[in-house]
A and B are shown apart, each in its own frame.
Chain A
Amino acid sequence: MSSEWIFVGIFLILAIIFAIIPLVLSRVVAPRKPHELKHQTYECGMETVGDTWIQFKAQYYIFSLVFVIFDVEIVFLFPWAVAYKQLPFFAVVEGVLFILILAGGLVYVWRKGALDWV
């Protein structure tokens, strides 16, 4: 394991500790007077009935679906971009072809109307 990642590990742990410190501090300092009304879920007026369940729009899901596919393709492109300077012209064209196929997918979802917020 290279030493650069040791720093990342230490730093992430430090970041977590730094985020926990104010929470602990407030736990020590802040008053705690529990009351039934305080612990109710926020709602406009009436008390909530039942669990949190909402039939949310499938659109949110569609966007994350498109995002997953695009994310994979972009990650594929990062090594290509790093090697870009040393690549011959036809290799760059191969990468461009890859991007164009990706763009073709975008055109398809666009035409299909999956990107419209209804």
Chain B
Amino acid sequence: MEAVSAAQIIFIVVALLTVATTFLVVTVRNLIHAALWLVATLFGIAVIFVLLDAGFMATVQIVLYIGAIAILIVFAVMLTRRVMQDVGPQSNENWWLGTIVAAVFFAAISTLLWSIRWPALPGAVVGDTVLALGRSLVDPNQYVIPFEVASVMLIIALIGSITLALPGKQSE
């Protein structure tokens, strides 16, 4: 079928571009550029979510990762430097070990993945997934505990990060 192969072409193009930008994120010397490539990666992953019929996940990805976390990372990069360019090598002397570990990991996982017969795609998604998600998040038989615990966790993260990042009175 024609429509089927169109989805596959889009997937291949987006996936390759995303992996390429991710490669730039982990290798580029200039950290601001790395952060901007990270944004491109995150956007590519949002497109992958769209391909998976998870529109809500795609928008959340853009609101949270690109709109919030990426901005935070760019701020942090700028706060922790004295010059515009990053000079000197950006990887430590064990970089070859990292390469080997990552390559072995990827090879092992992908041989494992391709040796399994995965289920084919079940039919189209029925109903509004956002609605179902909203109900399950406050349903006592489902995920109400993770939901409330997540809010407590975020408060703890807020308190911790503010305590750490707020300049102390004595350091002024």
Q: Do chains A and B touch in the complex (CB under 8 A)?
A: yes
Binding site for B on A (CB under 8 A): 1-2, 4-5, 9, 50-53, 56, 58, 60-62, 64-69, 71-73, 75-76, 78-84, 86-87, 91-92, 94-95, 97-98, 101-102, 104-105, 108-109, 112-114
Q: Are B82 and A53 in contact (CB under 8 A)?
A: yes
- Distance of A58 Cα from B165 Cα, bound (Å): 8
Contact A51/B162 with A71-B64, A83-B134, A87-B138 known, Cβ cut-off 8 Å:
no
Q: Does B152 contact A (CB under 8 A)?
A: yes
Query: What are 5 of the A-B contact pairs (CB < 8 Å)?
Result: A51-B83, A73-B154, A87-B138, A102-B151, A112-B163
Q: Majority SS of interface residues in chain A?
A: helix
Q: Report the interface size for chain B: residues with CB under 8 A from the other chain.
A: 51
Q: Lowest 10 A-B CB distances belong to which pairs?
A: A83-B134, A79-B134, A51-B84, A91-B138, A79-B133, A105-B155, A69-B158, A68-B68, A101-B151, A71-B68
Q: Does B131 contact A (CB under 8 A)?
A: yes
Question: Which A residues touch B64, using CB under 8 A?
Answer: 71-72, 75
Q: Are B128 and A82 in contact (CB under 8 A)?
A: yes
**Contact string, B99-142, partner A, CB cutoff 8 A, digits 1/0?**
00000000000000000000000000000101101110111000
CB-nearest residue of chain A relative to B169? A113
Binding site for A on B (CB under 8 A): 7, 10, 47, 50-51, 53, 55-56, 60, 63-64, 67-69, 71-72, 75-76, 78-79, 81-85, 128, 130-131, 133-135, 137-139, 144, 147-148, 150-152, 154-155, 157-159, 161-163, 165-167
Q: Are A64 and B72 in contact (CB under 8 A)?
A: yes
- Distance of A29 Cα from B54 Cα, bound (Å): 45
